[in-house]
Amino acid sequence: LAQLPPIAGAIFWWPYFQIQLGRGGVFNWALPGLDFQPTLGQTVAGAGLIGLGLLAVVVLASWLLARQPRLLGWIATRANWWAVAILLGFLPLLLIGVIPRGLSVRRQLLVFLPILILLAGWALDQLRRRWLTGIYLGLATLLGLSMLWLPPYENWGGAVDFIEAHETAGDAIFLLRPWYEPYAMDYYYEGVIPFEDRHTIAGELETVLA
């Protein structure tokens, strides 16, 4: 019920969402050389299907475990081992989050953060080691501080705003590799220059203009 007002309010933003869902997805970089370039809408739909599949697996596994008390007891007796495994898996994710330029990594790991926090909370409660809880809380705090104090990301949104404010019909956008991949421009740009008139080139600008 608490989510109904935000969902209802989102209806007014549907035209904007429709534009965004038609843009190139954030996972395009993971498909080099392939013709399939998923839009953001396709990526979200695929993630939803994967989520439903995982939910079905969890429900089926729970049902099977409920019918096998001996197996359930075996798993319960090794709860501490499961807790250690969860914390060992959670630790690298905390460290990866401190990567200064790891924006793409953080965005993708952010999807799994809620369930990981729940699992880590269960694991810490299971082990009941205050020093271990302190370590993980300290790492999480350092991660939050690093997000504030590490060097900022490139302001591609501001750069695109500048282009849109000064562009005219017939202009072209040149993105010079290997210094930059075009996905940030695809994400932010909503100007008048058609997509097919943009150019991503290797080499120097003088060579292209010659």
Report the alpha-carbon distance of residue 10 to residue 146 in Å, rounded. Answer: 32
The DSSP annotation for 103-143 comes to HHHHHHHHTTHHHHHHHHHHHHHHH--HHHHHHHHHHHHHH
Report the alpha-carbon distance of residue 166 to residue 38 in Å, rounded. Answer: 30
**For position 30, what pLDDT does the model report?**
47
Domain boundaries in the chain?
15-23+38-149, 156-209
- With bands split at pLDDT 50, 70 and 90, how would you rate the model's confidence at 112? low
Report the alpha-carbon distance of residue 188 to residue 25 in Å, rounded. Answer: 12
Q: What's the rounded mean pLDDT across residues 187-192? A: 78
- Asked if residues 197 and 169 have their Cβ atoms less than 8 Å apart, the reply is no
Assess whether pLDDT exceeds 50 at residue 65. Answer: yes
Assess whether pLDDT exceeds 50 at residue 82. Answer: yes
pLDDT above 70: percentage of residues in the chain: 53
- With bands split at pLDDT 50, 70 and 90, how would you rate the model's confidence at 16? low
For residue 124, the cross-strand partners are none
Q: What's the rounded mean pLDDT across residues 198-205? A: 56
Q: What is the mean pLDDT of the chain?
A: 71
Q: What's the rounded mean pLDDT across residues 170-178? A: 71
The structure's pTM equals: 0.46
**For position 71, what pLDDT does the model report?**
79
Q: What's the rounded mean pLDDT across residues 31-42? A: 62
Q: Give the least confident one: 90-94, 121-125, 155-159, 197-201.
A: 197-201
**For position 10, what pLDDT does the model report?**
62
The first and second tokens of residue 183, run together, are 């996905």
- With bands split at pLDDT 50, 70 and 90, how would you rate the model's confidence at 131? confident
Q: What's the rounded mean pLDDT across residues 126-137? A: 82
The first and second tokens of residue 81, run together, are 């081992």
